[in-house]
Amino acid sequence: MKRYLFKTSLSALLIGLSLYSNLAVAGERVHRYTVTVDDLLTTIKVEACFEGRPEFALVAESLDAALALQSAEIKSTGKKVTPSGKISLHDLGENDCIL
């Protein structure tokens, strides 16, 4: 009985992993964020990279975030981005980043 349960559990696990890997390949895109903090803990720099071409904007939950933002630019072109309540990602290219 234990051997049957083990084989059944193993089969279910393998099917689950197979489904997960198929969905991951065909499904969601992966985005990467790299965060660095200076030695005095006064400045945070974020590099946000997007798989494919992003079709959205970055929006902060905090109203104070816009006051703290010092700059934003597109990595591939060096073009400065002017935020207005959000950072538009419309001008980013394929697999591009915002700094």
Tens digits of residue pLDDT in 56-86: 888 888 878 778 888 899 999 999 998 877 8
- Separation between Cα atoms, residue 14 and residue 11, nearest integer Å: 5
Say if residues 66 and 58 touch (Cβ distance below 8 Å).
Answer: no
Q: pLDDT tens for residues 4-58?
A: 433 334 344 444 444 444 444 446 778 899 999 999 998 889 999 999 998 888 8
Identify each DSSP E strand in 1-99 by its residue range. 31-37, 44-50, 57-58, 87-88, 97-98
Domain locations along the chain? 29-98
Model pTM? Answer: 0.64
In 34-47, which positions are buried (b, 16+ CB within 10 angstroms) versus exposed (e)? eeeeeeeeeeeeee
